[in-house]
Structure 1
């Protein structure tokens, strides 16, 4: 029901309203539309707009295909990606996603998110999804049928009623904020400073088909990402505790440049690069929530939980959450009983918690010891490679199903062989 004149016309009998038109929102909308459900997407910003999370994982491609968006993504001219490279001092190692334990796609893309997110939203609209941009959700009422109070770009306010709400608002975390669902993260506070550069890389050995993760040689808790794009540009970022970044200068540009100077190989690689826009900061990004889903709403992707950018899991979790949530939501909308904790939250968190194991072990350096171990067991490396490729829900992989125990044992073996080389 509209409560202000001249507010936009809203369809009657909406099944689902989705907050946010990023990857999880566009994917979820497409999947619901395919099932004949009436969907409205409300996006606060206008696309294209800048976002980080630019190195996709192969696991994403399965969900993109589910949403009938694979051709659009394959034909968009994005940078091909077939693996990940890691660098720590004079140690350098790669993981080729073709050589993984889990079946499924082995390649994906590195994307400028402004273009990628707009492509997904445009494709969803071409399929018939109703997406409204410049719409800000200001209140939510769940006392009866879910109701959203929305303000449009002209400042007009109106109401939207739907049978269900999916929150795909990313770092905006609309429902967690409005419903007081946010809880402290178990991960320490870190910050990321990032920008895009014209990289001008001349090193013939540099592999543009892989993300490069570099470790600060003086402090292994500090790491850098370098994500090549197809247009001669790269996304460049550094992640560290906020106070360590603050020690590097008074502005973000200075902090990033000083940090890059501390990693000689990365500094040499980027010796001819030019910063294209002022650096930005994402601070205190790790988040947790008290409730992931009920019979009236579900949180997707970063709106629910975000771990850390180190293994590029954000977009993968977002897309998987969209796929999982839609499967349960279709059942509920069709009159079937759904246990949202058992049917959605628990399966999704299986993969999230797998990623969490390896994120935590990265920062305490245990997983770094595994990554840079010189004599890796080929079969174990394939299992680890599957996780780096995003297949964190493959329960046939023992490094997924028993992630904590298996990783502890593997770290002990790596430490033992390092002390007692054959």
Structure 2
């Protein structure tokens, strides 16, 4: 990897962003023998949220030649999720699922995880340059061009045969080409930090993410993602005005909301903050299209939903896994229909996740999860989607997610009452 000025202004593929989508795409294409330039604005390692992977990720990491880098990293094993509301807890084990494939994965500190992935992509032949900002883009079906500026202010015009935007929340091409559209999700806010958790409750399962629900306002929810060596990521998500109404600083707001949820308050009574509390507002995003002449958008650079089911990295890796072979085929002279081979199938899985996100906030999915008993086959279908298998159309909850969630929620006693505000 390099921070030196780019010497070559012509390459096969330029990848914008060195996060998971960029690393996976760059690694796959470099292993195909293509010349790959990865441009990253930041310097790694760098902090990021999105730390609880889904088992579906493991397949895509393997396809990209990145799995061994993750398996040797001593990350915290993850095999499912525990949901808590009031005094009720429901555990979902991803190993007991409808879809074939991995049932376990990891919970990772993204600074280390992302750095490992891009180092491995570099070892596979991708050239990675940090401190580079894309300031202009000219789409073209054969020779798209980027103008980039390094940290010294030097501008360079780069030409490639294809460009992949994996810039995450930077959303470089969406901004350059005015592709943004209404994400169709309510604007929400997340407050988050890392802690030394000092959890001594023997019932606490470090191999599962813990998702909590506020006892009065069920639209406010919490995550506790255990890492290795006694650390954890802890966050709270809710309506922007609601979360901002308590406390004068991010730290005070975070602490107020943690204290409001009994299970989290008890588990974290001995915690110590190890980084400042961060906040992210209005994070949901979408675009009119995920591809155009000489380019495609990967992961969060195209669409981001919500952190509630940890779908971000899964969608990012899925998009890279789908796009990289299409790029290789196109550069080999084949005609690729990006709409039918990339955009439509990728968005089908994203729509499954969107339906589950909407069902979480409108109460349908919460009524299902916290119901006392379900037929085992239905629970396994739900488990598959929550494990990331949102593209498995053999699963009825993927083929027709809204219909099946609504029907099951009604059987679980769901009503359309509006969540009460906290007192």
Normalised to the residue count of structure 1, the TM-score between the two structures is: 0.96
Query: Which one of the candidate residues 307, 320, 323 is aligned to 1:322?
Result: 320
Q: Conserved in 1, the CA contact under 8 Å of 2:13 and 2:160?
A: yes
Equivalent residue, structure 2, for 1:361: 359
Q: Conserved in 2, the CA contact under 8 Å of 1:295 and 1:340?
A: no
* CA displacement, residues 359-408 of structure 1 (integer Å, 9 cap, x when unaligned): 00000011000111111110000000000100000011111011111111
> d(CA) in 1 for partners of 2:247 and 2:414?
41
* CA displacement, residues 33-60 of structure 1 (integer Å, 9 cap, x when unaligned): 1112111100000000000000000000
Equivalent residue, structure 2, for 1:162: 160
Does the residue aligned with 2:308 lie in a helix, a strand or coil? coil
Equivalent residue, structure 2, for 1:139: 136
Query: Which one of the candidate residues 104, 107, 111 is aligned to 1:110?
Result: 107
1:174-213 matched pairs, under 5 angstroms:
174-213=172-211
> d(CA) in 2 for partners of 1:7 and 1:337?
34
Query: Which one of the candidate residues 88, 91, 95 is aligned to 2:88?
Result: 91
* CA displacement, residues 208-253 of structure 1 (integer Å, 9 cap, x when unaligned): 0000000000100000000000021100000011101111111100
1:367-406 matched pairs, under 5 angstroms:
367-406=365-404
Query: Which one of the candidate residues 346, 356, 360 is aligned to 2:344?
Result: 346
1:35-74 matched pairs, under 5 angstroms:
35-74=32-71
* CA displacement, residues 255-312 of structure 1 (integer Å, 9 cap, x when unaligned): 0000011101110110000111111111100011111112411000000000000000
Q: Runs of 4+ in structure 1 displaced over 6 angstroms? A: none
1:7 deviates by: 5.0
> d(CA) in 2 for partners of 1:387 and 1:272?
34
Are 1:82 and 2:79 an aligned pair?
A: yes
1:413 deviates by: 1.2
Q: Conserved in 2, the CA contact under 8 Å of 1:213 and 1:223?
A: yes
Q: Conserved in 2, the CA contact under 8 Å of 1:227 and 1:236?
A: yes
> d(CA) in 1 for partners of 2:169 and 2:63?
25
Q: Conserved in 1, the CA contact under 8 Å of 2:139 and 2:293?
A: no
> d(CA) in 2 for partners of 1:416 and 1:342?
37
- Structure 2 residues not aligned, in runs of 5+: 416-423
C-alpha RMSD of the superposition:
1.3
1:63 deviates by: 0.6
**More divergent stretch after superposition (389-398 vs 140-149):** 140-149
Equivalent residue, structure 2, for 1:420: none
Q: Conserved in 2, the CA contact under 8 Å of 1:82 and 1:96?
A: yes
Normalised to the residue count of structure 2, the TM-score between the two structures is: 0.95
> d(CA) in 1 for partners of 2:71 and 2:150?
34
Are 1:307 and 2:305 an aligned pair?
A: yes
Q: Conserved in 1, the CA contact under 8 Å of 2:60 and 2:318?
A: yes
> d(CA) in 2 for partners of 1:403 and 1:416?
16
1:416 deviates by: 7.8
Equivalent residue, structure 2, for 1:240: 238
**More divergent stretch after superposition (183-192 vs 311-320):** 183-192
Query: Which one of the candidate residues 259, 264, 267 is aligned to 1:266?
Result: 264
Q: Conserved in 2, the CA contact under 8 Å of 1:7 and 1:158?
A: no
1:327 deviates by: 2.1
1:8 deviates by: 2.8
Does the residue aligned with 2:296 lie in a helix, a strand or coil? strand
Q: Conserved in 2, the CA contact under 8 Å of 1:7 and 1:157?
A: no
> d(CA) in 2 for partners of 1:416 and 1:94?
20
* CA displacement, residues 45-81 of structure 1 (integer Å, 9 cap, x when unaligned): 0000000000000000001101111111101010000
> d(CA) in 2 for partners of 1:216 and 1:47?
35
Q: Conserved in 1, the CA contact under 8 Å of 2:36 and 2:125?
A: no
1:11 deviates by: 5.6
> d(CA) in 2 for partners of 1:213 and 1:10?
48
1:349 deviates by: 0.5
Q: Conserved in 1, the CA contact under 8 Å of 2:391 and 2:398?
A: yes
